[in-house]
A and B are shown apart, each in its own frame.
Chain A
Amino acid sequence: MSVIYNSMYYIASGGLILIGLYIVLVKTNLIKIVIGLNFIDTGINILLICIGYIRGKTAPIFSDPRIKSTSVVDPVPQALVLTAIVIGVAVLALALSIVIKVYEHNKTLNVTKIKGLKW
């Protein structure tokens, strides 16, 4: 039980990344593949935050004079995740616009049927 208690967040983030990879590699609908890319980004963000967590400590905002500098969690992964979330959103927006264009030209979202460029 203590193994699960210590690692359930890692299992969650690793699981999200693997599910996202499975969707991108196996599914054939373009919108599903884009959602899979989003899963991968979410999983990586959760992984980053897990790495910065310390048990029993609180958020790094010194709004209250009682919060000492030894009782806060690591602020750097939170800054990294802010950046990573925004980059993920940007790629998602661009991906959806390209999917709109692909649908306009091919009238289908099935990846196996879009074979304009051959070997």
Chain B
Amino acid sequence: MRKIISIIVLVIIAAGFVFTFSQIPFGKDKINVAGYYIERGIKQTGAVNIVTSVVLNYRGFDTLGEVTVLFIAALGLGAVLFIERKLKEGIKDKEDKKRKASLILRTGSRILFPLILLFGAYIFIHGHLTPGGGFQGGAIIASGFLLMYLAFPRKSINKRTSNIIESVSGLVFVGIGLLGLVFSGYFLTNFLPKGVPNTLFSSGIIPIIYIAIGLKVGFELTGIIDDLLGRSR
């Protein structure tokens, strides 16, 4: 019974899709508002990566909301999976029975971990010059930490430092927005000098915000992995 109703609903939605998608021609030039961003992107923001200038400058409010959603997910995970102090003692005995990881994993991860962190940092520092940015770099950093978690089952990051870095990075983002309010009357304006395009020190506040986002996302995702594994003290 449930299957029949579901199939009917899906057929109706599929019909809706067929009609609407045929109205939007694929591959035709239908740029409207985005033409403004492409024409004036480099002059107004200094970033050669137009997607970055759209994400952080013209639609910076959406990025603030997105950072907040990830923050909410990390908080929610911490709140839902929180174990009371008295129950933690019982779990500790199970941990000592875990096996050590294999030799290849342990050695390889010690070599790869700094390289992964370096690569992630490269991606979010150069967000305004190459494809990438804060979220991508943060995800790479978190995957480096995941590798360390797999290789060393008894170690974990310092939760307190991680929380402080997250809070400070979030405050840096909101703080720069409020500074824009102070300097020119609009939230999140680009008030630092734009510099020469296609160089590292250009485009005003964009690299600073991307560094803050990269660190915040990296440590947040690591905190999520840590909560799911149930390890922090």
Contact = CB atoms under 8 A, between A and B. Distances in A.
Interface of A: 6-7, 9-10, 14, 17-18, 21-22, 25-26, 50-51, 53-55, 59-63, 69, 72, 74-76, 78-80, 82-83, 85-87, 89-91, 93-94, 96-98, 100-101
B70 A61 contact: no
Closest 9 CB pairs of A and B: A90-B73, A55-B27, A60-B50, A25-B6, A79-B54, A14-B17, A10-B21, A79-B55, A75-B50
Q: Is the interface of B mostly helix, strand, loop or mixed?
A: helix
Nearest to A70: B38
A96 B54 CA distance: 32
A85 to B, nearest CB: 8
B95 to A, nearest CB: 18
A6 B34 contact: no
Which of A26, A53, A76, A80 has the most C-beta atoms of chain B within 10 angstroms of its own C-beta?
A76
B219 interface: no
Contacts of A83: 55, 62-63, 65-66
Interface of B: 2-3, 6-7, 9-10, 13-14, 17-18, 21-22, 24-31, 33-34, 37-39, 41-42, 48-51, 54-55, 59, 62-63, 65-66, 69-70, 72-74, 76-77, 80-81, 129-131, 133, 135, 197-198, 224, 227-228
Contact of A53 (B10, B27, B41): B27
B20 to A, nearest CB: 10
Contact of B38 (A9, A22, A75): A75
B59 A79 contact: yes
B153 to A, nearest CB: 19
B6 A22 contact: yes
Given A25-B2, A72-B50, A90-B70, 8 more contacts: A17-B13, A69-B38, A72-B38, A90-B72, A93-B77, A93-B224, A97-B76, A101-B80
Contacts of B14: 14, 18
Contacts of A50: 26
Given A25-B9, A86-B66, A63 B130 contact: yes
A53 B26 contact: yes
A1 B112 CA distance: 48
27 contacts: A7-B26, A10-B21, A18-B10, A18-B13, A22-B7, A25-B2, A25-B6, A26-B2, A55-B27, A55-B28, A60-B50, A61-B48, A63-B130, A69-B39, A74-B31, A74-B34, A75-B50, A75-B51, A76-B34, A76-B37, A76-B54, A83-B55, A83-B66, A86-B66, A86-B69, A89-B70, A101-B81
Contacts of A22: 6-7, 10
A112 B33 CA distance: 48
A60 B34 CA distance: 11
A60 B38 contact: yes
